[in-house]
Structure 1
Amino acid sequence: MKTVLTTLSLSLLFAAASQSSAVTLTFACDSVGQGYDECQKGANAWAKQTGNTVRLVQVPKETDQRLALYQQQLGARSADVDVYMIDVVWPGLVGQHLLDLKKYIPAAEVNRHFPAIVQNNTIGGKLVGMPFFTDAGVLYYRTDLLKKYGYNAAPKTWNELATMAQKIQAGERKSNPRFVGFVFQGKNYEGLTCDALEWVSSFGGGSIVDSSGKVTINNAKAVQALQAIQGLVGTVSPSAVTTYGEEEARNVWQAGNSAFMRNWPYAYSLAQDQGSPIRGKVGVAALPAGPGGKPAATLGGWQLAVNAYSKNPKEAASLVQYLTSVQEQKRRAIEASYNPTIASLYKDPAVLKAVPFFGSLYDVFTNAVARPATVTGSKYNQVSDAFSTAVYSVLTKKSAPGPALKTLEGQLNRIKGRGW
């Protein structure tokens, strides 16, 4: 660790010494959970070391809205933002407007990160993003309530979850009418694509589009998956779950009004904060599986990228290098439960003490199910929107799963046209 810190400090000092004068960078980072504050802490630490200034800008919480904003800015070749935090599925969509970081960040630093994520961020030989944190969907559960109602482990299947959620909900509503069994991301946006991909995959229904580019979503296992989740809405999940994003689900859960929640790892540290009503009562497990299937977690995660039109590319790349470094990823893991993209940190005692499930769920994080962004390329947004809209129609009971997936199959084949 001392060698890493020394190497990084020297590179930062060199970068600082090479500046003729201090600069101000604009950073479009995070807005979910404690994301903005954590970005500010890291940016401030880099600024203190280098003598530069970083100005954070507020960004939309919904990834779809963020992408649209960034595409508008980058398409106009605007230099207003120097550094962007980009989703794992965006490199192919905006990569042509991003700096090749291979020219600024030493290969030794790049190679510390999971190779698959580095490869994901490499477009046409250009490294357009450095891994910042990775993500995979997990199941949160109330340890105290499971014990209270006679359960000694988290549900392994969706049927078990439904049964457990129903029993706990019925009991808790005697004293808390607002209590529900299970919350998730049911709003029509990218988050629903992530949740629904987990449901389908966990039933053995594959992905939306396979690795060869074939549309595969219209199959019996996928229909079963959507039937199962549709059955939860209005029973153990509130009807309003179809308006929930990450934060809406977390707010219900953290207030003590839900037995189970599907969300990303960031929610753990918030639930364990001083003052949290459920502090010390939080368990984390792999998401349930369907009959004959296995647990599935959608691969999430975010990268840091430098605007190709930035007027301060060296300084922007230096900021990215610092924020994606071992010591900064370790800090973020310990203080805010963000999944590192550096394998060694999953064995770090301080990290595992702060976030115990990082060790037990390591395989979940490293074998997560990817969204079909690579194979569908520039058409991914259309694919994801069509998929989430079809699933949303099922959750809101405007369509049955079978007809919804048949219609979706036709839509996706039209989007595919002559090829992705």
Structure 2
Amino acid sequence: INGSGGSVLGKSGSPDVDSSDAKAGLQNLVDAFKDGNIPAEAITYQEEQGRTAFESGKLLFLRNWPYVYNLAKTDGSSKVKDTFGIAPIPGKDGTGASTLGGHNAAISVYSKHKATAHDFLEFLESNETQKFFATQGSLAPVVGDLYTDSELTSKLPYLPTLLKSIESAEPRPVTPFYPAVTKAIQDNTYAALKGSKSVDEALKDMQDALKTATSGNGN
């Protein structure tokens, strides 16, 4: 939906999937599932099942987090270690919208050791530590300059592509009712993929469920 120019929730936090852009986004997903570009069995995949299927050569594309790069390159069983590449999510006009996650760390207001915790966060966010995470686990650096660091990009040539994806990314729906919003999205998307609802029906039901969820009345 984001990649097609739509949004799940508007800036005010209200449901926003009743739009032509949202319809185009869900239709793209449904069509890819129907024509086999998304394999039928992938509908039940959890994250690691998708990764292992990709490494074994069963998937043409895999959308996942950067940690997969290191594993797909080094796993002894990986059949794609010398043949796969990384590209931004395609969108309506060029690069699409990836989903923004995060490597988040915070200091609890109740901590009795805030100064020590602060020291640890400085260590965690240092260039040296971030380079270690990037080279050993292909985790996305939280320091912007590292995406153009020559030493790092020589080892991880996909970093400029990852930076482009991050710059065009959209956050998950920002709402205090996240579990109910998630359920509204996944239940109706699943129904559209399985064909038990048309795209129009799924989006109408999603919009209604999101209204209920964001009013605080969701499950």
In the alignment, the residues of structure 2 paired with residue 354 and residue 293 of structure 1 have an alpha-carbon distance, to the nearest angstrom, of 27
Q: Secondary structure at the match of 2:132?
A: helix
> Does 2:127 match 1:329?
no
Question: What is the aligned partner in structure 2 of residue 315 from structure 1?
Answer: 116
CA distance in 2, matches of 1:400, 1:304: 41
- Alignment-mate amino acid for residue 258 of structure 1: L
Are 2:192 and 2:198, in contact at CA under 8 Å, matched by a contact in 1? yes
Match of 1:217 in 2: 17
Given the two structures, how large is their TM-score scaled by the length of structure 1? 0.47
Identify unmatched segments of 5+ residues in structure 1. Answer: 1-199
* 1:203/1:225 contact within 8 Å kept: yes
What SS is found at the alignment partner of 1:417? Answer: helix
Please give the secondary structure, in 1, of the residue aligned with 2:85.
Answer: strand
- Name which of 153, 167, 178 aligns with 1:380: 178
Question: What one-letter code is carried by the residue in structure 2 that aligns with 1:220?
Answer: S
Distance (whole Å) between structure 2 residues aligned to residue 260 and residue 231 of structure 1? 15
Aligned counterpart, 2:205: 407
In 2, Cα distance between equivalents of 1:294 and 1:329: 26
Q: How big is the shift at 1:284?
A: 0.4
| Identical positions, percent | 30
In the alignment, what sits opposite 1:297?
98
Secondary structure of the corresponding residue to residue 186 of structure 2: helix
Give the match for residue 68 of structure 2: 267
After superposition, the CA RMSD in angstroms is: 2.2
Amino acid at match of 2:10: D
Q: 1:231 aligns with which of 24, 28, 31?
A: 31
Contact (CA 8 Å) 1:266, 1:338: kept in 2 or not? yes
Q: Which residue number in structure 1 is paired with residue 58 of structure 2?
A: 257
Show the counterpart of 2:196.
398
Q: Which amino acid in structure 2 is aligned with residue 321 of structure 1? A: E
Shift of 1:342: 0.7
Conserved 8 A contact 2:95-2:168: no
Cα gap change, 1:293/1:331 in structure 2, threshold over 3 Å: closer, same or farther? Answer: closer
Kindly indicate whether the alpha-carbon contact (under 8 Å) linking 1:334 and 1:350 is maintained by their aligned counterparts in 2.
no
Unaligned runs of 5+ in 2: none
The 1:294–1:280 alpha-carbon spacing in structure 2 relative to 1, beyond 3 Å, is: closer
Measure how far apart 1:331 and its partner are: 1.0
How far off its partner does 1:268 sit? 0.7
2:188 and 2:206 in contact (8 A); partners too: yes
Structure 2 Cα separation of the partners of residues 231 and 221 of structure 1: 15
- From 159, 171, 176, the equivalent of 1:370 is 171
Give the aligned length: 214
Give 1:313 shift.
4.1
1:254, 1:300 → 2: CA distance? Answer: 23
SS at 2:61 equivalent: strand
For normalisation by structure 2, the TM-score amounts to 0.86
Quick one: distance in 2 between partners of 1:239 and 1:283? 24
Instruction: Assess if the C-alpha contact under 8 Å between 1:203 and 1:294 holds in 2.
Output: no
CA shift, 1:386, in A, is: 1.4
Runs of 4+ in 1 over 6 A off after TM superposition: none
Structure-2 separation of matches of 1:246 and 1:210? 28
2:49 aligned residue: 248
- Report deviation, 1:417: 2.9
Deviates more, 1:244-253 or 1:355-364: 355-364
1:284 matched to 2:82? The reply is no
